[in-house]
Structure formats: C-alpha cells, structure tokens
Chain A
Amino acid sequence: MEYLIGIQGPDFVLVAADNVAASSIIQMKHDYDKMFKLSEKILLLCVGEAGDTVQFAEYIQKNVQLYKMRNGYELSPAAAANFTRKNLADYLRSRTPYHVNLLLAGYDDTDGPGLFYMDYLSSLAKAPFAAHGYGLNKRFILNLPSFTVRLIDKEGIHDLEKLTHGAK
C-alpha cells in the first residue's frame, strides 16, 4: 500500500510520499524515495507496479531533461504533465501498459504553483490537492512508518523533515 499526497498553496506546492519499497508482504526498503526530480522546480511522484514506476518515471525524467538540452529552456509543469499523460495514454493500449499512479508538482514562473493528478488510465486533472492510496495513521491496518516531505516554491525544491511516527 503506497501513499502520495500533494497540496497546492498560494505560492508553493507541498508533497509527501511514503518510504516503503515492498515485495508482497515484506518491506525490502524503508527509506525509498518515490520522488523524481524532473527539473529545478518540477517533481514527479510515482507509485504503482514494481518495475513500471522506475522505468516510466526515469523515461519521463530523461525526456524532460532532453527537452531542456535541445531547446535551452525547461518544460513548464503543465507541459510536462501533458507530456507524461500522453505517454501513459500511448502505452495504455499497447502490449505493455504502465501501471503507475502519479502526482506531478511544479512551480511555473508565470503561472505559479501547480499540482497535477494522473492515474494509470492516463487521466489528468489539475487540482488544488490530491492523493493516491490510504494515508490514515491510526485507523488503517497497515501503517506506513515514515514519509518524505518536499516543498516547491519559486526558489526550487526544498527537503523538509522526514515524518516518522511510533517506535523507531
């Protein structure tokens, strides 16, 4: 069970993701980072099937960086989100669809902060707040031990304190 959440503020976007990399019932890693830095002010949070997440996210990451190398300027968060969605849609009806759920968070210098919700059926929605998974701490039967939290504002991406709860 994986969890992502994003909240858009007046001039920032706050995102958090859990830190568990699991293989059936065993936690193989409890300090796994699910956020991929697409550019100085864009983060892609990716959960879903084991290999698909990294493959797809790295593919998007490298393509966004390639765009910057070719054209000299970066893709805006909205453009990156639409590019990601288009790729998901293209693969959806192929023999190898990617089963990934995404949140794309970014700060555009002209449009301000933006949070985009995408799911494995390649739907895209710009939303003021969005989440994937179950994040309840006290009531859910499977508790996620810790979360990475990051903030994006006009200065870029900032790491905030890792949230852990309960016994270490």
Chain B
Amino acid sequence: MALEDICNLRNSCLHQNWLPASPATSFLMTDCYNLGLKGPKKSQRNNEVPLQFFIPPLLNSTSFLNRSPSSYFQGNPPVTVRRPFPLSHGTTTLGFVFQGGVIAAADTRASAGGLVACPEVEKINPIHSHLVVTSSGSGADCMLWERILTREIRLYQLRHKRCLSISGTAKLLSFMLHPFKGTDVCVALTLCGWDKELIYVCSDGARLQGNIFSVGSGSPYAYGVLDRELSWSLSNEEAISLAREAVFRATHRDAYSGNNVDLFHITAQGWHQRKRENLKEEYYRDMKKRGLF
C-alpha cells in the first residue's frame, strides 16, 4: 500500500515474485466497481485499486490462490486453510443520535473463543476529524478495513478537494466489501458522522441508516437499556451517561464483552474522546449504591 509506494518496492525485483491473492478476486473488483483497473494481472495502477492483495511466495500460498470468494459455486471444491482457533464476535458497540450530536460507545474486550485475547482493544477509531467508526466482528478484518476506508477517504479528499459525505462513505465501504460476500470476512462497522448520521455497514452487504444501532453479542442487552431511555432531547451529560450505562449493563451480562468502556462524542466541531473507564469500579459502585455489598 502506501509504504510500498514510498519504498519504491513496486520497481524492485522482489515485487515480481509477489502474486495477487486470486485472479478471480481482482476480476470481481472490476465487475462491480470500476476504479480504472484494466486487467486482473499487473498492478501498475495499484494505488487506484484498494483491494489487490499481494502475498509473498510462502509455502502455503497455493492454497490461498485456489480459494476465491463465493467459491462454493464452482465445480471443484476449494482448498481452505484451517483456523487455528474459533473466531468469536464478542463485543458490545453502540451508537445513537440526539440533539447534541452522535455518541459512539464500545467495550474493549477482544475474545477468541473463551480466551480474553486482549482486554484493552480500541474498537472505536476515527477515520477523519469528523467521522468515527465502531467495529465489531473479526478484529483483524476490522482493522484492515478501517485502514482501507481511511485511505480511500483521504484519497477522495485529495482528489476532489472536499470531504465525502457519510452516506457516500458508507456506500463506498459497502461496495468494497461486496466481492467478499460469502467468504469469511466478518466486519460490522457503524459509521458515526458529524452530520448527525449513523450508518451501519456489514460484510453481509447490509447498509442501514438510522438513529440508534448496537452491534455484537452484547447488543440485545444494550438495546434494552437504550430503547427505554433514549430520546432526542437528552442533554450531553445524560446521553453520555446513558451510553455508559448501556455498555456497562451489556458487559455485565455478556461474557464476551467487558473490561473498559470507550466513548466518543461527535459534533459539528469534530469528535471528542472521553477518558477510558474501567467498568470494574462502576460495578462495585453500582452494587454499593443498591445496598448489595
């Protein structure tokens, strides 16, 4: 990607050995969204196509080459790589719109099966000064797609001298994810933008605009708290404490969510991040307040 360009890796002899992940993949890119890619093989115009994944010639790389998106429609069965551990999509993220802007909140636990792989992940990442995205699904996929999205938005900004709208960003992301529908890519992102817009995009292809979204294994619990108390006319403090409460209750009951809560508040002036809070203290405070301790 960008580092590759700067290091002039493209022209080096090393580059000739690198193979595109699958010719079928790149062919599908041209099908559904033409960004100037002329043919599936050479990538002179790589900086225009975000999805030409190059892999070094490893021993196992042939199995990647044989696999293509939606490969179960082909005659011969694909050779897939076994996962070393079961993927889990444990998380609680939420976002809602109110009179003071948009609030995005998420827990910080990354789980892999029953293991807490990392207790301090950042699930809410800014794309630019006025757009924040909350991620859930597979951690690696989300990180990658956030980077790709950031790059594409920045390129758009440089080329067209203006910022792409939130719905445009969501549509771009949805179209970029479309070729991978049916594969194991699992991302469910909620774009929270300055224009009081909240759009949910997921790798299944769904793209929904709304006022309140919660994603992840803890989302039913978060919805329970949010649906009861959310209204347009909340003050900033009330909205923030509602979001914290919703994440706290979800992490209390959902085993795959927990540790801390991250909170972002997006207004017309940009996003503002609250200090990360550990929910353990919140739990003890809550128990004490209710006299159960």
A residues with CB within 8 A of B: 21, 23, 26, 28-29, 32, 49-52, 54-55, 94-97
Contact = CB atoms under 8 A, between A and B. Distances in A.
A50 B205 contact: yes
A49 B205 contact: yes
Nearest to B182: A96
Contacts of B174: 51
Given A29-B210, A51-B206, 17 more contacts: A21-B206, A23-B206, A28-B213, A49-B204, A49-B205, A50-B202, A50-B206, A51-B174, A51-B181, A51-B204, A51-B205, A51-B207, A54-B206, A94-B73, A95-B73, A96-B69, A96-B70
B219 interface: yes
Nearest to A59: B32
Nearest to A21: B208
User: At the interface, is chain A mostly helix, strand, loop or mixed?
Assistant: mixed
Nearest to A96: B70
A95 B68 contact: yes
A55 B205 contact: yes
Dominant SS among interface residues on chain B: mixed
Nearest to B177: A51
A94 B71 CA distance: 11
B178 interface: yes
Nearest to B213: A28
Contacts of A26: 219-220, 223
B73 A32 contact: no
B74 interface: yes
Interface string B225-244: 00000000000000000000
Contact of B70 (A21, A49, A50, A95): A95
Contacts of A21: 206, 208
B222 to A, nearest CB: 10
Nearest to A51: B205
B28 interface: yes
A28 B227 CA distance: 12
B204 A28 contact: no
**Centre residue among B74, B178, B204, B206 by max chain A CB count within 10 A:** B206
B96 interface: no
A95 B69 contact: yes
B179 to A, nearest CB: 8
Contacts of B219: 26
Contacts of A94: 73
Given A26-B219, A51-B174, A96 B28 contact: yes
A54 B207 contact: yes
Question: Most A CB atoms within 10 A — which of B69, B174, B210, B223?
Answer: B210
Nearest to B174: A51
Nearest to B70: A95
Contact of A51 (B28, B178, B213, B220): B178
The 9 nearest A-B residue pairs measured at CB:
A51-B205, A50-B206, A50-B204, A95-B73, A95-B70, A29-B210, A50-B205, A29-B208, A96-B70
B200 interface: yes
A51 B171 CA distance: 11
B181 A28 contact: no
A26 B206 CA distance: 14
B76 to A, nearest CB: 13
A104 to B, nearest CB: 21
Contacts of B205: 49-52, 54-55
B84 to A, nearest CB: 26
A96 B200 CA distance: 23
Nearest to A53: B205
Given A28-B208, A51-B174, A23 B202 contact: yes
